[in-house]
Amino acid sequence: NAGVTQTPKFQVLKTGQSMTLQCAQDMNHEYMSWYRQDPGMGLRLIHYSVGAGITDQGEVPNGYNVSRSTTEDFPLRLLSAAPSQTSVYFCASSLVPNTEAFFGQGTRLTVV
């Protein structure tokens, strides 16, 4: 099994550009989430989903959109990139909420 796969691994954007970070899991997990990690701030929850068709906001949702059309995929869209969105983004999944979370390898995003 591949587990949680994130693409791309690295990305450089110009301010104002939009892009989608991809996340896919092959473990049939219901719960998926997106975090951003900034130095000294741990991981902060952006958006999460408890199943296909259901999404909700986390701690820092502004500037990001998500959708969950299938159990496997949970893409994160940056609508208009800003330098403040420079960060490392992690996608995670778990079988049900509040159980072991499996993380992807991360996407390192730089907005210039």
Partner 1 sequence: GQQVMQIPQYQHVQEGEDFTTYCNSSTTLSNIQWYKQRPGGHPVFLIQLVKSGEVKKQKRLTFQFGEAKKNSSLHITATQTTDVGTYFCAPPAGGSSNTGKLIFGQGTTLQVKP
Q: Is 21 in the site for partner 1 (CB under 8 A)?
A: no
Length of the chain: 112
Size of the site for partner 1 (CB under 8 A): 25
74 belongs to the binding site for partner 1 (CB under 8 A): no
Q: Are strands 31-37 and 19-25 parallel, antiparallel or unpaired?
A: unpaired
Residue 40 neighbours by CB distance under 10 Å? 4
Nearest to 92 by CA among 15, 35, 30: 35
Tell me, residue by residue from 29 to 68, as one string, x for binding to partner 1 by CB under 8 A and - for no binding.
--x-x-x----xxxxxx--x-x-------xx---------
Instruction: Measure the CA–CA gap between 102 and 50, rounded to whole angstroms.
Output: 15
Pick between residue 12 and residue 41 the one whose CB is nearest to partner 1: 41
What are the residues binding partner 1 (CB under 8 A)?
Answer: 31, 33, 35, 40-45, 48, 50, 58-59, 90, 92, 97-106
